[in-house]
Amino acid sequence: MTTNAQFKTILSPSSKINSIETIESKVGPVPRGSLLSYQQKKIDDSTETIINNPAFPTYPGYTLPTLDQNFNTVLNLGEQNFYEGLTVSKTDSEDIEQNTIEQSKSPYWNSARKHRITSSKFKRVCSRKKDFETLVDALFNNSYKLKSSHEYYYQIMGQMGLAGALWCDLFIWCRDDYHLERINFVPGKWQEMKQKPDMFYFHYYLPTCVQY
């Protein structure tokens, strides 16, 4: 693997490589402003899906930018203590970066994201104009859940029962929000549901169809 292999895999063959400004890094030349040189896996073979350059096994240093703070508020004692408990040092952040490369496959990744508004949620927060409490409920431990008494639940369970599927992903898109939930097939629920449509069809619906 050459030192600029990562650079070549990012750019398409039609890209004008000569016109892109690059800088030297511990993994060879990379585009200026790119984070490629900092996205290496830790020194082991536990991750099969991440390509690593064995010639550069260590993480180069990375300086975080200083963020301007233009929001002011007053926290009560409980909020202040909780907020300060979320603070991480530079050493902590480097440890998190190295141990969460596999993201959702890493238990550490989930704990590091807990009680934080991560960048994947920025759009939902920034575009919200009202009902902020509802959004908090949606973001806190994924509190949205389809009720088993809801019409959608019966629809999904019936479709899975007829098709033989074991699960179905329910995705609901709203103007300022969305919800994604995996619904697993419940054989007992399907058998309970199936008796009522059978009775209704043969005793009431079918005879009416014959009359028309």
pLDDT tens series, the chain, 212 aa: 444 444 444 444 555 556 677 777 666 677 766 655 455 444 455 555 555 556 555 556 667 778 777 888 888 898 888 888 888 888 888 788 777 877 777 778 878 887 888 777 777 788 878 878 777 877 777 557 888 888 999 999 999 998 889 999 998 877 666 778 889 999 999 988 888 888 887 888 888 888 87
Q: Which long-range contacts (CB under 8 A, 24 or more apart) does 46-49 make?
A: 47/101, 47/102
- Nearest by Cα to 116 from 77, 74, 88, 76: 88
- Nearest by Cα to 46 from 106, 121, 124: 106
User: Could you give the maximum distance between any two Cα atoms of the chain, in Å?
Assistant: 82
3-state helix, strand, coil in the chain (%, to 5): 45, 10, 45
Q: What are the sequence ranges of the domains in the chain?
A: 1-62, 132-212
- Nearest by Cα to 98 from 46, 139, 156: 46
Q: What are 182's strand-pairing partners?
A: 169
Its pTM stands at: 0.43
Instruction: For CA atoms 9, 14, 17, 19, give the dihedral sign.
Output: negative
Buried b (16+ CB within 10 A) or exposed e, 122-158: eebeeeeeeeeeebeeebeeeeeeeeeeeeebeebbe
